[in-house]
Amino acid sequence: MKYWGVFASSTMLSREFELTRDQIMVLVIRDFKRKYNSTYLGFFWSLLVPIFTSLVYCVVFQVLIRWSTEHYILYLMSGNFLWHFFNNVITMNGRVLINSAPLLKKTCFDRKFLIYGTFVAEFIHFLLTIPILFGMMCFFKITPQWSTLFINLLAVFVFTSLLCFGVSFLYAAANLYFRDLERVIGVIMMSWMFMSPIFIPMSHIPEKYQIIYQLNPMAGIMCIWRDIFYCPGFHPESFLYLFAVCFVVFLIGYGVFKKCEPGFAEMM
C-alpha cells in the first residue's frame, strides 16, 4: 500500500505538470500569433530588432562619442540582447492581465500562467540570439572558459528569471489597479537601462557612483553574462547577493500578485 501511494502521488504530479505545461504552451502560441500576425518577416523580428538597436548604439557610442572598448560590438550586443529580453518580459506583462480579461473571469484558471507564458515566449526569442554571440566570439577568436561556462549560464538564467517574475508579478497587479503606472514604466525601464552596464563597462563608472551600480541586481547579472563572452574570470562572490536580492524581489512580487488576485476580475 505504501508503494501504491507513492506511485499515485507521482502520477498526480506528472499529470499536473503536463497540464501546466500545456496551458503555458497555449499562451505562448497565442502570444506568437498576436505578435507576428500580418507581418512578412514574422519570427525573424525577434532577432532583427535587438540587432538593429545594437548597431545604432554602436554608431552612437563608438563612432560619434568615440568610446574605446575592445570588441565593443560584442560587448554591446551581449548586454543589449539580455536587456531586450528582460525589458520585453516586464513591459509585456504589464498589460497581460488587461489583455486577458476573459481568462480572468474563469475561476478555474491560474492567473500566474499568464506571466509564465509571456516569459517563455520571450525566452525563446532570447535563446535565438545566443548563437549570434558565440558566432561573434569565433569571429574575434575568443575562446570560452569551458570550466565556468555552464555555472555562469545557469546563474544568469536563475537570477534573471527570479527578477523577471518578481517585477512582472508586481507590475501586472499594480497596473490593473493603477493604470497611470503604464504611462511611466517606459521612463522607469529606460532609467534602469542606463543604470546597468550595457553601454559602458563597470570599470569605467566613476568611483562615487559605483555603489549605486553595485546595488542594481541587473548590473551584477550583466557582469556575469559578460564573463561568458569576454572570459575575464569567474566571480562567484556576487552570486549570494544576487540570489538574495532577486529572490526577495520575487517573493514580494508574487505576494502582492496573490494578495490582489481575488479582485482581478472586478477591476476589468
Tens of pLDDT, residue by residue over 202-260, are 777 888 888 888 889 999 999 899 888 876 666 777 889 999 999 999 999 999 998 98
Domain for residue 15, yes or no?
Answer: no
Considering the domain boundaries, does residue 7 fall inside one? Answer: no
Q: Quick check: is 72 in a domain? A: yes
Q: Is residue 88 part of a domain?
A: yes
Q: With H, G, I as helix, E, B as strand and everything else as coil, classify residue 26.
A: helix
**Mean pLDDT of the region 77-97:** 91
Task: Please report whether residue 2 resides in a domain.
Answer: no
Structural domain boundaries, residue 60: 23-267
Residue-by-residue DSSP string for 155-221: HHHHHHHHHHHHHHHHHHHHHHH-TTHHHHHHHHHHHHHHTSTTSS-GGGS-HHHHHHHHH-HHHHH
Residue pair 147/114 in contact by the 8 Å Cβ criterion: no
Q: Is the pTM of this model over 0.75?
A: yes
The cell numbers describing 122, all together, are 520571450
Most confident residue range from 55-64, 235-244, 256-265: 235-244
Q: What is the pLDDT of residue 15?
A: 57
Is 28 part of a structural domain of the chain? yes
SS3 state of residue 38: coil
The number of domains in the chain is 1
Residue 10 domain-assigned?
Answer: no
User: Do residues 164 and 90 make contact, with C-beta atoms less than 8 angstroms apart?
Assistant: yes
Helix count (H) and strand count (E) of the chain?
A: 11, 0
pLDDT of residue 83: 95
State the pLDDT confidence band at 6, using cuts at 50, 70 and 90: very low
pLDDT at 86 over 90: yes
In a domain, 126, yes or no: yes
